[in-house]
Amino acid sequence: MKLHNQVAVVTGAASGMGKAIAELYAQEGAKVIVADLNLEGAEQVAQGIVSSGGTAKALKVNIAQLSDIENMIDTAVSEYGTLDILVNNAGIMDGFEPVGDITEEKWDRIFDINTKGVMRATRKALPVFLEKGKGVIVNTASTGGYNGAHAGAAYTASKHAVVGLTKNTGFMYAAQGIRCNAIAPGAVMTNIQASMNGLSEFGVSRTRLTQGLIPRAGSPEEIAKVALFLASDDASFLNGTVVTADAGWTSAF
């Protein structure tokens, strides 16, 4: 098993990519904190893992709340003794609004979840990793993290920030045995659309120009395999980088 006896926290793990990552990590021997605002969904995932012979605990976490994030990391350590892997996967979409149409409220909400939540969870996990002399962080970025035509202004900016934070964290703590990498998924079949509201007709029409080039949509399980690679010793020489998983979509431009 690639993650035998390791402890992992996965945010946004009640569905989609987070669910697939939590389940695959458990299959590979990890003890998993299944963190999500949707506690019922998180409990279903955790119960499924346990019934399959794995180890997991569901935890209700609002990634926009500092107290929830700190409790999440503290729970992993108190429940399983340590923390080895942090997967910052939770995120929401905007409504494809260009900068001229984005509201202050929506901008702040998207950044609180997509970017500040990643920073806060990483900051809380770092003392544990530094004391151990090792640790792994896997962030879910997006092809929208280095491209301007895949979402609205807020989501695009928030994921660009995640890419920058990933690179900086990987560089800053490389000598302390900590690796921080990100995955940039393209189109993936998840329920992130449920977080979208008040779609901008103009923004949607502009992003269609690139969406027509998508070779195919990926499955959450395909992204989970990338997350497993990055968390495992197979990726021991990867740090501060972003792995694009989009079936070749962004290779076109």
At position 47, the amino acid (one-letter code) is Q
What percentage of residues in the chain have a pLDDT greater than 70? 98
Asked if 155 is an active-site residue, the reply is: yes
- Give the full edge-to-edge strand order of the sheet including 7-11: 55-60, 31-36, 7-11, 85-88, 135-140, 178-185, 242-245
**Numbers of helices and strands, H then E, in the chain:** 8, 7
Which pLDDT band, with edges at 50, 70 and 90, does 172 fall under? very high
Catalytic one of 25, 80, 155, 173? 155
The pLDDT of residue 253: 83
pTM comes to 0.96
Whether the Cβ atoms of residue 185 and residue 230 lie closer than 8 Å to each other: no
CA gap 54, 51 in Å, rounded: 7
Mean pLDDT of the chain: 96
The pLDDT of residue 190: 83
**Long-range contacts, stretch 129-132, CB < 8 angstroms, 24+ apart:** 129/83, 129/173, 129/176, 129/177, 129/178, 130/173, 130/176, 130/178, 132/82, 132/84, 132/177
CA gap 236, 135 in Å, rounded: 11
Residue with the bigger pLDDT between 208 and 184: it is 184
Angle at 117 between CA 75 and CA 193, to 5 degrees: 110
177-199 confidence digits (pLDDT tens): 999 999 999 999 987 666 677 88
Which pLDDT band, with edges at 50, 70 and 90, does 209 fall under? confident
Q: What is the mean pLDDT of residues 99-128?
A: 98
The pLDDT of residue 199: 87
Q: What is the mean pLDDT of residues 20-46?
A: 98
Q: What is the mean pLDDT of residues 206-233?
A: 95
Q: Is the pLDDT of residue 159 over 80?
A: yes
Nearest to 249, CA basis, from 150, 161, 155, 141: 150
135-147 confidence digits (pLDDT tens): 999 999 999 999 9
Give the SS3 label for residue 108: helix
- Domains, the chain, ranges and CATH? 7-252 (3.40.50.720)
Nearest to 17, CA basis, from 138, 126, 121, 122: 138
The pLDDT of residue 194: 65
Q: What is the mean pLDDT of residues 143-170?
A: 97
CA gap 173, 177 in Å, rounded: 7
The pLDDT of residue 212: 87
102-111 confidence digits (pLDDT tens): 999 999 999 9
